[in-house]
Structure 1
Amino acid sequence: MTDAASGTAIVRTNAVLAGVPRSVVVGVGAALALLFGSLLLRPLSTEDIQIVGIPEHPIASSAVGSIQIRAGTADGVRVLVDGRETPTVQQQGAHVVRAAGLPDGPHVLSVVVPRSPSWLGSTTTTRTFTVDSTPPELRVDDSLRPDGPNKPVTVNGTAHGATQVAVAGKPVPPDPQGGFSAVVDRPDREVQVVATDAAGNRTERTMTVHIRHPGMRAVHLTGLAWTSDSLREPILEMARQGKIDTIELDIKDESGEVVYDSAVPMAHQIGAVKGYYNARQVLDQLHGMGVRVVGRLVAFKDPVLGAASWQGGHPERVVQTAGGQPWSSGYGAYAFTNFADPVVVRYNIDIAAEAAALGFDDILYDYVRRPDGHLDQMRIPGLTTTPEAAIADFLRQTQPEVRSRGALLGASVFGIAVDRPTEIAQDIRQISHFVDYISPMVYPSHWGPGEFGVGNPNSQPYDIVVRSLAAFAKTVEGTDVQIIPWLQDFSLGVSYGPGEVAAQINAARDNGMTSFLLWAPNCRYHDTALGPTG
């Protein structure tokens, strides 16, 4: 094809170059080729290298592993930290830095990318960053002491070096000096405080919420005894005279019967509810007299639940012998339910929570232990820790359920638990973290000859009580848990009257313990051993 215009252009070009030497023409062509080639083979510049993961603020040492380098398709990329080669790994087209254990302070990251062709050298990009692995300095008290269950607490503290503080999960901005203050309206058993700095370093503290028990001078009354005028009225008269200020009333007893009008579904399913008294009416009556009411809840000695579980195809809810039969240990068949079984645990917690919601001032667990006997002869299905830890964990689970409903939580324990925690799985130190008070049963008749250097404890009520309670006080030293002892108002081997009861009360008082509970199986008490409150 012939194009006149094109032909003209060619002629004109040739005409322009007609007087130029051929070597010059060739040189110009080569120069143009080199120019265009260099543009096509342009090496990476600093704008082509992307470094992500380096914020303006300091970073924790572990965060160095989050630094990523993107350099397109270039091969032979080298990464240096403070002038030293640093390994990287390829992840989704990026070079991820692997530099662990860098000391606190400033560091220089260099990324070296070779040019192409190689005789053009390389391009280096640098960034600086600061490592800070020192967590904030957080200071708070170990304990919080609200005025009562479900009452607010104020958390005060300092968090030097922190940019954020959270109290019970809610952010609280620290002031320029690091101070902070926050009100927790409905604290759980523990309040967590977390301080975080710009680098993401965290310091955590857990504050235990301890509620001071108002004190009590109490006697125990069974559910059936409440229905008996001859047993109930003398105790109410003791309250009217100011000799006692608290009544402990069974809510689930050692027979496994739930003796008040409970609505807990499982209690009805197994036939445990007896309804000997209407809890709302009793609480209104006693509170109207200014009397506090403690609900006694027998936890793991529960023949009703044990029998229903075993016969209903749930043997795992019962403590067993090594041969797989129900453990009785003289308590009767199916007597001891399994403290490691979640259904058994939930059943007891549900009753405790219901009683607290009804208005019982305290929930005091009894038989919160394993059965006595050699542990290696028992089978406890589902137990993954020590029995002592499992019992303490049961109390840990109960306390927020009770506290949130306005009641305090206590645990009755054997006297021997003070120095023999594994015999029945009652470790006093562990338990002290999860209850408001511990009630040791330091009955003189229950000690063997020579205990605490007392030759005949049953005949020396003051001596054995004053020494055993001193041991309990020492065991819980440094905690906020209170010791409110059970004292003996019954005869077993030695006749007990007002003098023996008063001796025990004096022994408790000499240990700084002005609160106590009296136990009499027949619910008849020596009121002349008690003076008016105060």
Structure 2
Amino acid sequence: MSRTRISPSAPSFRPRRPARRGALIATTCALAVAGAGVGAWTFLAPGPGIQGLSDGAVLNGRQAAQLDAYLAADAAGGRDELHATLDGAAVPVAADGARLKLALPQLKEGRHTLVVDGAGSFPFASYHRVVGFHVDATAPELKVADPVVKNAAAPVTITGTASTDAQVSVNGKKVPLDKAGAFTATVPKGTPLVTVAAVDRAGNTTTKDVSARGRRPMIRAAHITAIGWGDDTLRTGILALVRSGKLNAVELDVKDEDGEVGYASQVPLARQIGAAKGYYDARKAIAEIHAAGAQVIGRIVAFRDPKLAGAAWKAGKSDQLVLTPGGQPYNGGHYGALSFTNFANPTVRKYNQDLAVEAARLGFDDILYDYVRRPDGPLSQMSFPGIGSATPEQSITSFVADTRTALRPHAKYLGVSVFGIAATRPTEIAQDIGALVKVTDYIAPMVYPSHWGPGEYGVAQPDTAPYAIVQRSLADFARQAKGTQTEIIPWLQDFSMGSSYGPAEVAEQIKAAADNKMNSFILWNAGARYQGAALQQIAAH
């Protein structure tokens, strides 16, 4: 085997250190291209990765607002040689320690493309990075029907629809969607509140709470004021009716006709205007009533509120009041000029809703609105600042609907006290029963015989015919609520006004309600003195 001999005239060969792979490739390629007569050539290197953002990412609104994108400075080469664009527009680059920060603008919803070009960290090399991503800040659609609960001892079926790209869960358990986005789920019997959530690919979430309790169970209640609860005789008398099984609920004022809140409310506006009076300890009162075997209905006198009206007018916030066309406080007849607040005003609405939520958190079982209406009198003589194109009936209904939504997480019942005439004359005081039955758990008509005019419902003298007037007027409310799960729970008269009312007259009203398949009622006596002889014993709940 022969060996090749090296000529003395040939240059000597000396071993060299291995070149960096990237530099070697670049050099080799450059020489090859140059040898082919192409001229100068730059190698396209992999380049640095973009930190904080990946290709194909889907960002929600919060993530997009907080997005920061960086390049490692040592791999990115010089900042002066770096060029970045977002959707074709230049993106500023700033030094940030050992990194280069891409100062991205506020990102709009939709598809985006980030392009970064620069010189590499080794000779003859450059890089070109493209990252495509999507911003989706829109929460998925979610609709959940109020379940129909016919049997409290059976499981409850929850139905609804959601965006087809969303993942839906019912009380934390995932449920499938069909091709149209519809879903069905079953929750165990006795589940008071169902939370349905829809989450899309970006993490946007829509949540709905629905009550699975069904109709409000039978209540037989009596009213007492905040001050009255502090009277040992009055309080003891009502609790005795509860313990004897004749009542199973107590209606206790949260906010009364004077605008005073009976307990030491922590709602800021109540404290600011001096409405929080502390006549009773709410938690203690509720515990005492529960211990006696009854539930507690918290009555909130909504828009008749002299306390708020007076404070608002003094502070120059006239838009919180019902006004005359000339801009003066509307004089609500015997109620006085500073008596009715404006149901269309956001501050007034929120104040009452905040009290409702606070009462629910304190342990009241129901929230019952009263004076959730406009004042009596010609509509042409009233102005409701901010009402816009809505009618008074629509504005009041939306207020009640908003309260129901606010109360849903607390699993409380919501009732609305209404005039007896509202069943047939919805615009007279802005109480549309057909609309209100869709946003409440119960309607409480004040069908006191003494409050009806002669000839109403064909009854010559309603005050002397308690059965006839109550039975006929409640029949109209029954028709309005037909096909809904909303109960009709009438206010009944346990006081004398004109005619003398004893146990027999009270009992006739109770029978008239029962003949309309209404076994619930709330008794009204301003002095909180009730005639137990009119009440049949019932099973306490």
Give the TM-score taking structure 2 as reference length.
0.65
Is 1:213 paired with 2:216?
yes
Q: Which moved more, 1:222-231 or 1:174-183?
A: 174-183
Partner-residue secondary structure (3-state), 2:417:
strand
Is 1:309 paired with 2:318?
no
Counterpart code for 1:260: Y
CA contact (8 A) 1:165 1:193 kept: yes
- 4+ runs of 1 displaced by more than 6 Å? 139-142, 162-165, 167-171, 175-179, 184-194, 205-210
Counterpart code for 1:288: A
C-alpha displacement of 1:153: 5.4
Q: Deviations over 1:115-162 (max 9, x none)?
A: xxxxxxxxxxxxxxxxxxxxxxxx9976344999xxx95425899xx8
> 1:341: which partner in 2?
345
Q: Distance in 2 between matches of 1:163 and 1:349?
A: 35
> 1:245: which partner in 2?
248
C-alpha displacement of 1:457: 0.8
> 2:184: which partner in 1?
181
1:405 to 410, 413, 432: 410
Is 1:468 paired with 2:468?
no
Partner-residue secondary structure (3-state), 1:304:
helix
Q: Distance in 2 between matches of 1:450 and 1:485?
A: 21
> 2:368: which partner in 1?
364
Counterpart code for 1:258: V
Q: Deviations over 1:151-202 (max 9, x none)?
A: x95425899xx897857799742479998533689998997999xxxxxxxx
Q: Distance in 2 between matches of 1:158 and 1:444?
A: 46
Partner-residue secondary structure (3-state), 2:279:
strand
Please tell me whether Structure 1 or Structure 2 has the larger radius of gyration of its CA atoms. 1
C-alpha displacement of 1:531: 1.9
Q: Distance in 2 between matches of 1:335 and 1:158?
A: 44
Gaps of at least 5 residues in structure 1 are: 1-91, 93-138, 195-204
Partner-residue secondary structure (3-state), 1:256:
coil
Counterpart code for 1:454: V
Partner-residue secondary structure (3-state), 2:479:
helix
Q: Distance in 1 between matches of 2:270 and 2:180?
A: 56
Q: Distance in 1 between matches of 2:375 and 2:165?
A: 52
CA contact (8 A) 2:192 2:211 kept: no
Q: Distance in 1 between matches of 2:277 and 2:361?
A: 19
C-alpha displacement of 1:284: 1.0
Q: Distance in 2 between matches of 1:368 and 1:163?
A: 41
> 2:94: which partner in 1?
none
Q: Distance in 2 between matches of 1:313 and 1:228?
A: 38
CA contact (8 A) 2:166 2:198 kept: no
Partner-residue secondary structure (3-state), 2:262:
strand
Counterpart code for 1:515: S
Identity of aligned residues (%): 53
Q: How many residues align?
A: 386
CA contact (8 A) 1:306 1:334 kept: yes
C-alpha displacement of 1:406: 2.7
Counterpart code for 1:312: A
Counterpart code for 1:375: L
> 1:522: which partner in 2?
527
Q: Which moved more, 1:178-187 or 1:438-447?
A: 178-187
Q: Distance in 2 between matches of 1:387 and 1:170?
A: 42
Q: In 2 relative to 1, CA 326–497 (structure 1 residues): closer, same or farther, beyond 3 Å?
A: same
Counterpart code for 2:358: E
C-alpha displacement of 1:207: 8.6
Partner-residue secondary structure (3-state), 1:297:
strand
Q: In 2 relative to 1, CA 273–531 (structure 1 residues): closer, same or farther, beyond 3 Å?
A: same
> 2:537: which partner in 1?
532
CA contact (8 A) 1:485 1:517 kept: yes
> 1:33: which partner in 2?
none
Partner-residue secondary structure (3-state), 1:320:
coil
Counterpart code for 2:517: G
Is 1:143 paired with 2:142?
no
Partner-residue secondary structure (3-state), 1:276:
coil
Partner-residue secondary structure (3-state), 1:307:
helix
Is 1:271 paired with 2:270?
no
Q: Deviations over 1:435-466 (max 9, x none)?
A: 10000000001111111111111100000111
Partner-residue secondary structure (3-state), 1:211:
coil
Q: In 2 relative to 1, CA 280–178 (structure 1 residues): closer, same or farther, beyond 3 Å?
A: closer
Counterpart code for 2:537: P
Q: Deviations over 1:236-275 (max 9, x none)?
A: 1111111111100001000000111211111000000110
> 1:64: which partner in 2?
none
CA contact (8 A) 1:210 1:480 kept: no
Q: How does 1:29-48 map to 2 (within 5 A)?
A: none
Partner-residue secondary structure (3-state), 1:379:
coil
Is 1:287 paired with 2:290?
yes
Partner-residue secondary structure (3-state), 1:259:
coil
Q: Deviations over 1:311-344 (max 9, x none)?
A: 0110000001112111122211210000000000
> 1:377: which partner in 2?
381
Q: Distance in 2 between matches of 1:280 and 1:349?
A: 19
C-alpha displacement of 1:526: 1.0
1:435 to 440, 457, 482: 440
1:416 to 400, 412, 421: 421
Q: Which moved more, 1:422-431 or 1:522-531?
A: 522-531
Counterpart code for 1:453: G
Give the TM-score taking structure 1 as reference length.
0.66
C-alpha displacement of 1:379: 1.1
> 1:325: which partner in 2?
328
CA RMSD of aligned residues (A): 3.5
CA contact (8 A) 1:270 1:304 kept: yes
CA contact (8 A) 2:211 2:408 kept: no
Gaps of at least 5 residues in structure 2 are: 1-87, 89-142, 200-207
Counterpart code for 1:302: D
> 1:351: which partner in 2?
355
Counterpart code for 2:357: A
